[in-house]
Amino acid sequence: MKAQRLTGRQALKQNGDGFGGSITYDIGAGFSVGGAISSSKRTTDQNNSSFAIKNDAGVQTGTSEIYGSGDRAETYSGGVKYDANNIYLAAQYTQTYNATRFGGSPNAGVYGYADKAQNFEVVAQYQFDFGLRPSIAYLQSKGKNIDNGVAGGNYGDQDLLKYVDVVRLTTSTKTCLPTLTTKSTCWTKTTSPLQPVSLPITSLHWV
């Protein structure tokens, strides 16, 4: 089954007026902490949009509602970092409301925003003196109570993203930015019918 929005610009790409901010604090001895928040108005299309469900022949068989509803899209994030003695460790947790998207377009059939999502990211790196900098990261995003209020449209809690990322980086000197040489991503198994788009969290990178 395929789906097509009935009107205008895709609702997932719209946004209303909003604000955001972040703060970091250097504790010392390589440790630092930070936090960020953002909040923006959701548009009328995001709260009241429907799209047509069509079969492979292009014949409309019904309509469905975009997932997620609420007046605002909000994110709250906190993280901690250790960067010293050739070791880099960082972790970040973000909780969102009507802000984590899934399904790239109406063609996904099921798409919209998770009413609530919990996003977690952790990364570990080690800088060898000869320039090699291996890195491993784990990222998970879980959507909570995914429901569009239509019979048969309740998917409950779902893993939107869940994977391990392994990267090998090299640098010519300690002052140069890392150059990506190889990368492999090991995806974990999931039975979620939802297709992820993007996560409203800031990736953890070294500086």
The domains of the chain are located at 2-187
d(CA 94, CA 201): 7
The pLDDT assigned to 16 comes to 77
183-195: average pLDDT: 43
pLDDT reported for residue 50 = 61
Give 58-103 pLDDT, tens digit per residue: 666 556 667 777 788 899 999 999 999 999 999 999 999 988 887 7
pLDDT category, 38, cuts 50, 70, 90?
A: very high
Secondary structure of the chain in HEC code, one letter for each residue: CEEEECCCCCHHHCCCCEEEEEEEEEEECCEEEEEEEEEEECCHHHHHCEEEEECCCCCEEEEEECECCCCEEEEEEEEEEEEECCEEEEEEEEEEECCEEECCCHHHCCCEEECEEEEEEEEEEECCCCCEEEEEEEEEEEEEEEECCCCCCEEEEEEEEEEEEEEEEECCCCCCCCEEEEEEEEECCCCCCCCECCCCCCCCCCC
- Lowest mean pLDDT segment, chosen from 19-23, 109-113, 146-150: 146-150
Least trusted range by pLDDT, from 131-135, 151-155, 192-196, 201-205? 201-205
Residue 35 pLDDT more than 80? yes
Which of 45-49, 112-116, 153-157 is predicted with the least confidence, judged by mean pLDDT? 45-49
Residue 199 pLDDT: 39
pLDDT at res. 61? 59
Q: How many CB atoms neighbour CB 76 within 10 A?
A: 15
pTM: 0.68
At 17 the pLDDT is: 86
* Percentage of the chain modeled with pLDDT above 70: 58
- Cβ-based neighbour number of residue 154 at 10 Å: 11
* Nearest CA-CA partner of 186 in 120, 119, 124, 138: 138
Class of domain 2-187: mainly beta
Between residues 98 and 126, the one the model is more confident about: 126
